[in-house]
């Protein structure tokens, strides 16, 4: 048996998130079905379970998701990559395996991760996007990017992020260390880049929604830190839609 690390890209729009669930199309199910075809159910006759670096919600995209899987058969990495992609393409899945690496059993896509990176894309113009529908958050009113960036810097560091976590978040603690939260213009878009060892459920989207309130002039810059310090979910701005969020990279 060998352990393999997969680098995965996907369009989250057709899926109900990463994690396998009853009655829903998921990214995990798509890849596991492809693995099942390759391994012919394996020696134990069961589906090969994938462990990922970070489970994404319905509609969230990935440019650099990482997952690992234990397979009964030894594979040449390029053959495994190409075979998985062939099955995913045949099934018309919006998923691609960008790279495969053989790793030791000590490696865990989730536990071994040292830093996770996200990008949030906001299309800031009057007209919606014809080409990036379901891939950006369309905000019509001009945003004050400098004010958003200033506010973002005020919540960097180690804090209780209760204000910016989902009510359904199952993490035992809301303490997280936010290393990067940058806001900058990229043509007609505003990008928000976030980096930390780990994030709470809906943390990035909650922070982005609050930053947009500042960019629209609905909140002063100081409200971002005040909301954080309140440790009260009711002080959070609206949660930004899933379609603008991308899981971009994992560092090990």
Whether pLDDT at 25 is above 90: yes
What is the pLDDT, as a whole number, of residue 47?
A: 65
- Return the structure tokens found at 146: 């400098």
| Mean local confidence (pLDDT), 115-139 | 97
Structure token pair of residue 222: 């100081």
Query: Which token pair is 133?
Result: 């529908």
Residue 218 has a pLDDT of 97
Annotation says 57 is catalytic = yes
Nearest to 61 by CA among 172, 197, 204: 204
CA 80 to chain centre: 24
CATH number, span 115-251 = 3.30.70.660
What's the pLDDT score for residue 41?
43
Asked if the model's pLDDT at residue 27 lies above 90, the reply is yes
Per-residue pLDDT band at 251 (split at 50, 70, 90): very high
pLDDT digits (tens, 9 = 90+) for 58-89: 999 999 999 999 998 899 999 999 999 999 99
Query: Which residue did the predictor score with more confidence, 210 or 73?
Result: 210
Q: Which of 11, 57, 144, 229 is catalytic?
A: 57
CA distances 169 to 94, 117, 165, 172, 233, Å, are: 27, 19, 7, 9, 12
CATH: 3.40.1710.10, 3.30.1240.10, 3.30.70.580, 3.50.50.60. Which one for 2-103? Answer: 3.30.70.580
Query: What ranges do the domains of the chain cover?
Result: 2-103, 115-251
For residue 44, pLDDT over 90 is answered with no
Calpha distance 203→240 (Å, rounded): 10
Per-residue pLDDT tens over the stretch 178-201:
999 999 999 999 999 999 999 999
């Amino acid at each position: 048996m060998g352990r393999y690390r997969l680098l995965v890209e996907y369009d989250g729009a057709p899926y109900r998130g990463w994690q396998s669930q009853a009655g829903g199309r998921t990214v995990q199910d798509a890849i596991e079905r492809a693995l099942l075809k390759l391994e012919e159910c394996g020696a134990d006759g069961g589906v090969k379970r994938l462990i990922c670096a970070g489970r994404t919600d319905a509609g969230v995209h990935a440019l650099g998701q990482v997952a690992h899987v234990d397979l009964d058969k030894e594979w040449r990495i390029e053959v495994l990559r190409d075979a998985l992609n062939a099955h995913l393409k045949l099934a018309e899945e919006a998923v691609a395996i960008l790279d495969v690496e053989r790793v030791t059993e000590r490696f865990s896509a989730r536990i071994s991760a040292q830093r996770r990176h996200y990008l949030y894309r906001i299309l800031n113009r009057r007209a919606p996007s014809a080409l990036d529908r379901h891939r950006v958050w369309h905000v019509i009113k001009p945003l004050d990017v400098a004010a958003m960036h200033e506010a973002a810097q005020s919540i960097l560091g180690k804090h209780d992020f209760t204000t910016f976590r989902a009510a359904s978040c199952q993490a035992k603690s809301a303490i997280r260390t936010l290393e990067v939260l940058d806001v900058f213009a990229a043509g007609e878009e505003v990008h928000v880049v976030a980096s930390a060892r780990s994030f709470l459920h809906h943390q990035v989207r909650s922070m982005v929604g609050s930053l947009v309130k500042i960019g629209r002039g609905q909140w002063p810059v100081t409200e971002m830190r005040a909301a954080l310090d309140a440790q009260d979910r009711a002080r959070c701005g609206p949660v930004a839609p899933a379609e603008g969020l991308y899981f971009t990279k994992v560092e090990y």
